[in-house]
Amino acid sequence: MSGVDIAREAAAKEALKYVRSGYVIGVGTGSTAMVFLRELYKLIINGDVNNVVLVPTSTETEIEVVRLGLANLLRYPWQVDHIDVAVDGADEVDRRKNLIKGGGAALTREKIIDYWAREFVVIVDESKVFDSIPSKHPIPIEVIPFAWTIVKARLEELGGTAELRFGGGKRGACGD
């Protein structure tokens, strides 16, 4: 196991401190969130946490919940009246705790779940922390196709650039 993997696992285990029996848990997307989900799975099957509900932020997360044998705990936002805690990773975080999320193409679903949660826990290890952001990843903006040209024009008016990324591959991201 690499140093990054060890750090990611330690961060995921730390996030478990925010989970309680009876909670509605928003489960994030991406490699770090999957580590958290697998650690949560261990608590559930050992009986250390019970009566929880899992609200996924992506199809990838839904599939992993089912693969782990926890499909009976799976709920969608319209099936719950609140989310106690949402746990997710980030693409980049600066030292002031600003972060970039959504590079894996689940931005809108992640934002809906994360903002709705009473508590939002972001799991990161040192490999995701930078002095300033963006550092390695572009800032993702998810728009409906109908508005693409309007959003692109406005971003360019502000001095930015926009690149349309078509769905495909992992979570709809190109090249993943």
Q: Looking at the annotation, which residues are catalytic?
A: 110
Burial class of residue 60 in the structure, from the number of CB atoms within 10 Å of its CB (0-12 exposed, 13-18 middle, 19+ buried): buried
* Rounded alpha-carbon distances, angstroms, from residue 132 to 96, 99, 103: 9, 10, 17
Which amino acid is it at 50?
Answer: N
How far apart, in whole angstroms, are the C-alpha atoms of residue 77 and residue 83?
A: 9
DSSP secondary structure code for residue 137 in this structure: S
Distant-in-sequence, close-in-space partners of 67: CB < 8 Å, separation ≥ 6: none
